[in-house]
A and B are shown apart, each in its own frame.
Chain A
Amino acid sequence: MELVCPAGNLPSLKAAVDNGANAVYFGFRDDTNARHFAGLNFTPEKMADGIRYARRKGVRVFVALNTYPRPDGFARWQQAVDRAAGLGVDALIAADIGVLDYASSRHPELALHLSVQGSATNYEALRFYQRHFGVRRAVLPRVLSMSQVRHVIEQSPVEIEVFAFGSLCVMVEGRCILSSYATGRSPNTYGACSPASHVEWIETPSGLDTRLGGVLIQRHPKGEQVGYPTLCKGTFCVDGHRYHAIEDPVSLNAMALLPELDAAGVRAVKIEGRQRSPVYVGQVTRVWREAIDAYRRDPTGFVPRPDWTAALGKVSEGAQTTLGAYHRPWQ
């Protein structure tokens, strides 16, 4: 089982490589990828440095090109595909059918992975991407239960990668436009969810309000820890009740499911967090490396060690973790 780790910049890439990643994924410094944040991502030169560093340690490199170009932007995505192919990356992670069509016809030697942003939740969709573009691997959206993951893999014509740890999308990735509804910018069109450019932190007599596109997402009393106002993690009112109506501010941690994921035939587990610090990447990679190695040594006796869980809890959003959709009652 391959451990696929995030690299938002060169220090993060090195942290992932040094702590035991089997593969790293990154993006160019623009809206062609779904972590289009200020100061993040790679210039072509830095990317070449990163690829050299990873290769020396036998680590594979994937480029994420997983947003949806509109007609007037398509040429830039084509150039990004060409650049990735020119750098000799091990795989291109793409979502848009047009981008996949271009990449497969122009660079038939380039391995293609279907991004989670491609929203393929069923094996018929996977067959489509395999048949048309020869996609070799797909990343499943974080909406399937463990038994559904198993079923998809049984029928899938491509290998499957799943999210194992990190910030949790509650919605089917690639099909959520809550962010652009509030701000005009979405992961699909702009490469960012709840973009910082539209966030306001407003002091009030009772504490601090966070707003996104002017919409009140969270109201913190004085002294409470203030989180980033991701739209779907806000506190709202429904039918007179005030609560996290969509999702609590928690992170996904599927470590307890490692034996089940492996038995199901999952080929790679993905760590989310290209926007996080090199320290986060290093710690999470190290813990997951240890866990996967421990599982390999003793598959039947595997249980997540308390110190692993504690270390992951410390870097989790809201310091809480969940099994997410893998665990049916979450749904």
Chain B
Amino acid sequence: MTDHAMRPVRQPRLAIGPISYYWPREQVLTFYRELAAAPVDIVYLGETICSKRKQLRQEDWLALAEELATAGKEVVLSTLSLLEAESELKRLRAICDNGRFLVEANDIGAVQLLAGRPFVVGHSVNTYNERTLAVLAREGCQRWVLPVELGQETLAQMQRLRPAGMETEVFAYGRLPLAYSARCFTARARNLPKDDCQDCCIDYPDGLVLQTQDDNRFLALNGIQTQSARTLNLLPQLARLRDLGVDILRISPQSTHMSAIIERFHQALIGALDPCSAAADLAALMPTGPCDGYWHEAAGMALEATATPT
């Protein structure tokens, strides 16, 4: 694909998704302090999984948002994915009404509250076709994140049909968000009732691995969320992502090696590193190993190909 190199192609920007795990306060603050100096463009902040996680309060998130904005990052406040209690709606309203930062809606309830203002629609809202995206755009959605089970064929169709001005973000690295439940699977694993969970998910900074009976590291339990044990990595698909006009690549944080992961993405984006050799480095940094099946319209856990030709 030599024509690709001759055509000026817009570089995707790099985003860091919200921390999906429960990390101790100091670890969160350190993570964002380092991120302020890292080569990323956009930072999503806030608790998206469980409203009982209270190491950081709303004022803390807003203070972090200001610091990161001062450091030149675009900050987006992310929101809870599963909204059940009135207290959760109350907190959601406060985030939606913050008046300063863009907000990511991870449930249609948040879209309802954000209607008429600009907002981002996250990957847990089911945006599977252009008619859905058009409805969301009329509400004020200016960026959407591809649902993680959709692959490159669907993305290509959506890119042709997306409303004018709509930005597309792709979840490009991280353990995949697969399901949400009322039940807390971490508390269940510890034999604790959810109402007295003792914040036990703080012990698992990358989730708690669930293995099959023949020792296949299959899933990662993260409170009420279930993730893949394997880590999605789409960096080898960088050429295709560029060709499709993807605006933003999202890295979902893990507890270790984040600066190395960001550095590999950054180097590949500026052309200083071959995405495929970067992939080998990245595989070594993952808690379980890589997968990319969804991108190829296959089972999500599969590892199909290492690269598209560049």
Contacts and interface: CB of A to CB of B under 8 A. Distances in A.
Nearest to A242: B213
A151 B85 CA distance: 9
Interface in A110-139: 118-125, 127-129, 131-132
Given A143-B182, A239-B208, A325-B182, A98 B107 contact: no
A294 to B, nearest CB: 30
Interface residues of B, number: 72
A329 interface: yes
Contacts of B108: 97, 118-120, 124-125, 128-129
A68 interface: yes
Contacts of A119: 107-108, 126
Interface string B285-298: 00000000110011
A182 B294 CA distance: 10
Interface residues of A, number: 69
A286 to B, nearest CB: 30
B83 A121 contact: yes
Nearest to A213: B299
B102 interface: no
Contacts of A102: 131
Interface stretch (A11-19, A33-41, A166-174, A266-274): A166-174
Contact of B129 (A68, A177, A239): A68
B152 to A, nearest CB: 12
B126 A174 contact: yes
A236 B185 contact: no
Contact of B109 (A101, A124, A239): A124
Contacts of B135: 97-98, 101, 132
Contact of A184 (B92, B178, B297): B297
A306 interface: no
Main secondary structure of the interface of A (DSSP, over half): mixed
A69 B147 CA distance: 13
Contacts of B293: 184
Interface in B68-126: 81-86, 88-89, 92, 107-113, 115, 124, 126
Contacts of B2: none
A201 interface: no
Given A143-B182, A175-B124, A329-B193, A182 B299 contact: yes
B4 interface: no
Contacts of B161: 71
Interface in A213-247: 213, 215-217, 219, 232, 234-239, 241-242, 245-247
A303 interface: no
A178 B129 contact: no
Nearest to A124: B109
B179 interface: yes
Contacts of B189: 238-239, 241, 245
A176 B178 CA distance: 6
B109 to A, nearest CB: 4
Contacts of B216: 215-216
B210 A189 contact: no
Interface in A24-77: 68-72, 74
Interface of B: 81-86, 88-89, 92, 107-113, 115, 124, 126-132, 134-136, 148-150, 153-154, 157-158, 161, 176, 178-185, 188-189, 193-195, 208-216, 218-219, 221, 226, 228, 293-294, 297-302
Given A175-B81, A245-B221, 8 more contacts: A118-B108, A124-B112, A125-B83, A128-B108, A129-B108, A172-B82, A175-B82, A237-B213
Interface of A: 68-72, 74, 95-99, 101-102, 118-125, 127-129, 131-132, 143-145, 148, 151, 170-172, 174-178, 180-184, 186, 188-189, 213, 215-217, 219, 232, 234-239, 241-242, 245-247, 325, 328-331
19 contacts: A68-B129, A71-B157, A71-B161, A72-B154, A99-B131, A101-B131, A120-B109, A122-B109, A124-B89, A148-B84, A171-B181, A172-B82, A175-B180, A236-B219, A238-B209, A242-B213, A245-B189, A325-B183, A331-B194
